[in-house]
C-alpha cells in the first residue's frame, strides 16, 4: 500500500495547479487575437472641420493586408505610408513641422520579427517616406542606421525623388513660432515645459506634435513594427529623437512581442524604452504592465515630477495589446477581428505636476 505523506499532498496540489494553469495557457493560445494591428492615434482636423485619427488609417490598411496574406512588415509600412503622404498631418512625413531653420527632417525605423533584422534613417531631408528608406537599409545593407546627407544619397540611389516637404500650412506655423524664438526654443536656458504649446496658443497642438508607431502580428504569429516622424517641431537642426533608434522608439522580438513609442524622445532614449517594454513582457508581464513599468523608470529620472508626455504601445505573441502614457489623455488605434476603434491609454498622472 502506497503511503501518502503531507509532502505528497503538497506536491500533488502544486502539480494540479501547474497543470491547470498550463491547460489555461494552451486554451488562450488556441484562440489568439490575431491578426492585429495597433498604432498611436493623432487627432487630425481638416480645414472643413472633418476629424479623423491617423492611426486608424494605418491599422486598417495593415490589417487588410495581413488578412490577404502579406508579411507584417509590408503591412505596417503600407499603413504608415498613408500618414507620411498626408499633408494635413503635421507630425509625420510630407507636411511635417520643420526644424528651427525651416527644414523638414524625417526619422524612421523598421523591425522584422521573423528575421530579427532592422533598419533606420535619421535627419533625412527631401524624401517623404522615410519608412521605405529604413526598410532598404535593412534589406540592402549590413548597417542599421543611416543619417543626414548619407541617408539622402542612399535613398536617391534607389530611385527616390527629392521633394519639397514643407507645405505652406507648416511654413506659416513655423513663421509664427520664429517670431517668438528668442523666448521659445530648445536651448537649455529657455527650456520650459509646454514651451511649444504656449508659443502658439491659437493652434490645435494635437495635430502638430507626435509621431506614428504601428505594430502588427499576423494570424500565424509573426510580428513587425515601424515608427516614423518629422521629429520635435522647431528642433535644433540635426536633432534625433527616439524614433529611429532601435530599442528606443521601436523593438520587436518574434517570440515575445513588440513595443513602440511616441512623445518626448529624449526621455525614452534614457531608458531604452521599447526594449524595456519587450523585456518586461518576456518576464511575464502583460503589455499594459510592461508599458507602465517602463514609464515609471522615466518618472524616476525626474524625482517623481516628469516634465513631458511619453507614450508606449505594445502587443504580445497572443495578440494582447495596450497603450500607456505618463499623463492622461493619450489614445491609440486598434484594428482586429472586432473592427477598428480608438481606445484610451492607461496613464500614471492625471496632469503634469505644478
pLDDT tens per residue across span 59-91: 999 999 999 999 999 999 999 999 999 999 999
The vertex-221 CA angle with 215 and 223, nearest 5°, equals 30
Write down all domains in the chain, each with its CATH number in brackets. 40-349 (3.60.20.30)
Question: CA 314 to CA 323: how far, in whole Å?
Answer: 7
Three-state DSSP class for residue 344: strand
Omega cis (within 30) before 35: yes
What is the per-residue pLDDT for 352?
79
Q: What average pLDDT does the chain have?
A: 88
Q: How many CA atoms lie within 13 A of 184 on its CB side?
A: 18
What is the per-residue pLDDT for 351?
84
Question: CA 89 to CA 98: how far, in whole Å?
Answer: 13
What is the per-residue pLDDT for 114?
98
Nearest CA among 266, 281, 270 for reference residue 324? 281
Question: CA 348 to CA 327: how far, in whole Å?
Answer: 6
What is the per-residue pLDDT for 205?
45
Helical H segments across 168-228, by residue range: 168-178, 195-199
DSSP 204: -
Active site residues: 211
What is the per-residue pLDDT for 112?
98
Nearest CA among 188, 312, 301 for reference residue 250? 312
Q: Which residues of the chain have pLDDT under 70?
A: 1-30, 181-185, 187-210, 354
For the chain, percent helix, then strand, then coil, each to nearest 5?
35, 25, 40
Stated as kind and residue range, the H or E segment containing 151 is: helix 148-157
Amino acid at each position: 500500500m502506497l503511503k501518502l505523506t503531507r509532502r505528497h499532498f503538497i506536491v500533488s496540489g502544486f502539480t494540479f495547479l501547474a497543470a491547470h494553469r498550463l491547460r489555461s495557457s494552451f486554451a488562450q493560445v488556441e484562440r489568439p487575437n490575431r491578426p492585429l494591428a495597433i498604432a498611436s492615434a493623432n487627432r487630425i482636423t481638416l480645414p472643413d472641420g472633418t476629424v479623423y485619427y491617423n492611426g486608424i488609417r494605418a491599422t486598417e490598411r495593415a490589417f487588410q493586408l495581413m488578412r490577404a496574406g502579406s508579411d507584417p512588415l509590408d503591412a505596417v509600412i503600407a499603413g504608415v505610408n498613408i500618414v507620411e503622404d498626408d499633408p494635413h498631418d503635421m507630425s509625420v512625413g510630407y507636411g511635417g513641422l520643420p526644424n528651427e531653420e525651416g527644414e523638414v527632417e524625417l526619422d524612421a525605423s523598421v523591425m522584422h520579427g521573423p528575421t530579427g533584422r532592422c533598419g533606420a534613417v535619421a535627419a533625412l531631408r527631401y524624401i517623404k517616406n522615410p519608412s521605405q528608406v529604413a526598410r532598404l537599409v535593412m534589406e540592402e545593407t549590413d548597417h542599421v542606421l543611416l543619417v543626414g546627407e548619407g541617408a539622402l544619397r542612399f535613398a536617391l540611389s534607389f530611385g527616390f525623388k527629392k521633394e519639397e516637404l514643407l507645405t505652406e500650412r507648416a511654413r506659416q506655423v513655423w513663421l509664427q513660432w520664429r517670431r517668438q524664438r528668442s523666448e521659445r526654443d530648445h536651448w537649455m536656458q529657455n527650456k520650459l515645459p509646454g514651451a511649444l504649446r504656449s508659443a502658439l496658443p491659437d493652434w490645435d497642438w494635437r495635430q502638430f506634435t507626435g509621431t506614428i508607431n504601428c505594430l502588427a502580428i499576423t494570424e500565424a504569429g509573426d510580428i513587425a513594427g515601424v515608427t516614423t516622424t518629422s521629429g520635435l517641431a522647431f528642433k535644433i537642426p540635426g536633432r534625433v529623437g527616439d524614433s529611429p533608434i532601435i530599442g528606443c522608439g521601436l523593438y520587436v522580438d518574434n517570440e515575445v512581442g513588440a513595443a513602440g513609442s511616441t512623445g518626448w524622445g529624449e526621455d525614452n532614449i534614457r531608458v531604452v524604452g521599447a526594449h524595456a517594454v519587450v523585456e518586461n513582457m518576456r518576464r511575464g508581464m502583460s503589455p499594459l504592465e510592461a508599458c507602465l513599468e517602463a514609464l515609471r523608470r522615466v518618472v524616476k529620472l525626474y524625482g517623481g515630477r516628469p516634465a513631458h508626455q511619453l507614450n508606449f504601445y505594445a502587443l504580445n505573441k497572443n495578440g494582447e495589446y495596450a497603450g500607456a502614457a505618463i499623463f492622461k489623455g493619450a489614445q491609440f488605434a486598434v484594428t482586429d477581428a472586432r473592427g477598428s476603434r480608438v481606445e484610451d491609454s492607461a496613464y500614471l498622472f492625471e496632469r503634469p505636476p505644478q
